[in-house]
Amino acid sequence: MEVPALQGFTLERGLLTMEKPLRTREGQTSLRIGVPREVSNEERRVSLSPSGVRTLVANGHEVYVENGAGAQAHFSDVQYAEAGGEIMTSPADLYGKCELIVKVGPPSDEELDYLQEKQILISALHLGGTSPVFLRRLMDLGITGIGFEFIRDSDGSLPIVRMMHEIMGSMAVQIAAHYLESGGGGKGVMLGGISGVPPSTVVILGAGVVGEWAARTALGFGAHVIVLDNDLGALRVMEHYLDRRITTAMATEQYIRQAVARADVVIGAMMAAGQRAPIVVTEDMVAMMRPGSVIVDAVIDQGGCIETSRPTTHSEPTFVVHDIIHYCIPNMPSNAARTATYALTNVLVPYLIKIGEAGSINEALWQDVGLRNGTYVYRRHLTKKSLAAMFGMPHRDIELLIASGI
């Protein structure tokens, strides 16, 4: 949220980030970090805010920002320049100058041609759109690829995924509420009931972070919320945190079919970290829903968990199947571009500082479990078993590669 003046103290307008300058350590490497303008799938976010650039520059790094990179998140080139970044007019020049590229979406086909030998690439991977050709291209170039989806800290948390999933869960319900209205093409009902009129039913598939924040938001609207998952422990935790104001059920075929048939809104949030989302709602289940109902498949970037889902764009966000409105935008948080950019900055900047402090990417991966878990290609090898299984490709253990120095 925007932070106003507080008790006579004027604060900078905007979100306050958590990063802070650190003193340069002996042996620290100065990185040349590139922040390109996003070009894929109408992406509006940018990987680093001006405040993040300022922190990196204060820690001895050089940051190059493509002109207009932050425009759609309402960050100007002037703000980046004032933070110490150098504005680049050509993406080819930016990629050619930097040893580390940090971006939101995976590189497009054109951006793949800009990548240099042995660069470090930190971005989302988007498993639903990843191909063996893309991975082989990165391996041929000797790229060290670190994916947002895989960065897992020692406590088991997925910091970037969690940030984006909190946004996705909240937005999914807001979006569903809009399309449920007559003006959005829906059946013309509110999520929350009024005196004498019962509320709408929101069915959430998945009790992870997306599901949790979708449930919180739906309860805030006053909806009747049903959450299904195949993890009884996750359902129990959600019931506890939400004070038993939701109805939970195991995600068996029978319960899913019954819940979907009575739903006004279905939020697809069923996923497994680092893997394609499982299909849990079949087309015949969708056909049983009441006309004008809404489906928001919030995990379409992982392939989606509803059979009738297919990726959409911000310019054409919905389509209709069996009289059911489907909203399936892979980069949903980009519609809250400024909030999402601050969230990314808060998580990414400390990792970038760690890479510089380590002196080399090899040492950084050895020292930091989050970065090591996040790596999916390294030294011309695929290092993620889940990706290897998905595409029938060989893989090598990241720790053995680091230790051997291959």
**Mind listing the pLDDT tens digit for each residue in 339-365?**
999 999 999 999 999 999 999 999 999
26 inside domain: no
User: Does residue 42 sit in the same domain as residue 125?
Assistant: yes
User: Does residue 235 sit in the same domain as residue 318?
Assistant: yes
> Above 80 in pLDDT, residue 173?
yes
Q: How many residues does the chain have?
A: 406
Average pLDDT, whole number, for the chain?
A: 90
Q: What is the mean pLDDT of residues 48-67?
A: 98
Q: Are strands 32-35 and 318-321 parallel, antiparallel or unpaired?
A: unpaired
Domain that holds residue 276: 169-329
User: Does residue 149 sit in the same domain as residue 179?
Assistant: no
Residue 64: is it exposed, middle or buried by C-beta count within 10 angstroms (0-12/13-18/19+)?
buried
Confidence band for 405, pLDDT divided at 50, 70 and 90: low
> Above 80 in pLDDT, residue 327?
yes
101 inside domain: yes
Q: What is the mean pLDDT of residues 48-62?
A: 97
**The pLDDT value given to residue 273:** 67
Please answer whether residues 217 and 195 qualify as being in contact, where contact means their C-beta atoms are separated by less than 8 angstroms.
no
Chosen domain end from 329, 344, 369: 329
User: Does residue 207 sit in the same domain as residue 290?
Assistant: yes
Q: What is the mean pLDDT of residues 257-269?
A: 97
User: Does residue 321 sit in the same domain as residue 362?
Assistant: no
* CATH assignment of the domain containing 109: 3.40.50.720
> Above 80 in pLDDT, residue 4?
no
**The pLDDT value given to residue 7:** 36
Chosen domain end from 272, 305, 329: 329
Residue 405: is it exposed, middle or buried by C-beta count within 10 angstroms (0-12/13-18/19+)?
exposed
67 inside domain: yes
> Above 60 in pLDDT, residue 22?
no
Q: Is the pTM of this model over 0.85?
A: no
User: Does residue 184 sit in the same domain as residue 314?
Assistant: yes
> Above 50 in pLDDT, residue 13?
no
15 inside domain: no
Q: What is the mean pLDDT of residues 171-193?
A: 94
> Above 60 in pLDDT, residue 69?
yes
**The pLDDT value given to residue 101:** 98
Q: What is the mean pLDDT of residues 214-228?
A: 96
Please answer whether residues 95 and 36 qualify as being in contact, where contact means their C-beta atoms are separated by less than 8 angstroms.
yes
Chosen domain end from 329, 353, 375: 329
User: Does residue 358 sit in the same domain as residue 230?
Assistant: no
User: Does residue 36 sit in the same domain as residue 185?
Assistant: no
Looking at the chain, the whole-number percentage of residues with pLDDT higher than 70 is 92
**The pLDDT value given to residue 326:** 98
**Mind listing the pLDDT tens digit for each residue in 113-158?**
999 999 999 999 877 678 999 999 999 999 999 999 899 888 888 8
Task: Provide CB contacts within 8 A for 10, sequence distance 6+.
Answer: none
Confidence band for 67, pLDDT divided at 50, 70 and 90: very high
**The pLDDT value given to residue 346:** 95
**The pLDDT value given to residue 218:** 97
> Above 90 in pLDDT, residue 330?
no
User: Does residue 147 sit in the same domain as residue 36?
Assistant: yes
370 inside domain: yes
User: Does residue 59 sit in the same domain as residue 188?
Assistant: no
More confident residue, 332 or 101: 101
User: Does residue 215 sit in the same domain as residue 105?
Assistant: no
Question: Which residues are part of the catalytic machinery?
Answer: 126, 301
User: Does residue 349 sit in the same domain as residue 325?
Assistant: no
Structural domains counted in the chain? 2
> Above 90 in pLDDT, residue 188?
yes
Looking at the chain, the whole-number percentage of residues with pLDDT higher than 90 is 78
25 inside domain: no
2 inside domain: no
Three-state SS annotation for the chain:
CCCCCECCECCCCCCCCCCCCCCCCCCCCCCEEEECCCCCCCCCCCCCCHHHHHHHHHCCCEEEEECCCCHHHCCCHHHHHHCCCEEECCHHHHHHHCCEEECCCCCCHHHHHHCCCCCEEEECCCHHHCCHHHHHHHHHCCCEEEEHHHCCCCCCCCHHHHHHHHHHHHHHHHHHHHHHCHHHCCCCCCCCCECCECCCEEEEECCCHHHHHHHHHHHHHCCEEEEEECCHHHHHHHHHHCCCCCEEEECCHHHHHHHHHHCCEEEECCCCCCCCCCCCECHHHHHCCCCCCEEEECCHHHCCCECCCCCCCCCCCEEEECCEEEECCCCHHHHHHHHHHHHHHHHHHHHHHHHHHHCCHHHHHHHCHHHHHHEEEECCEECCHHHHHHHCCCCCCHHHHHHHCC
Q: Which two tokens stand for residue 6?
A: 């507080």
251 inside domain: yes
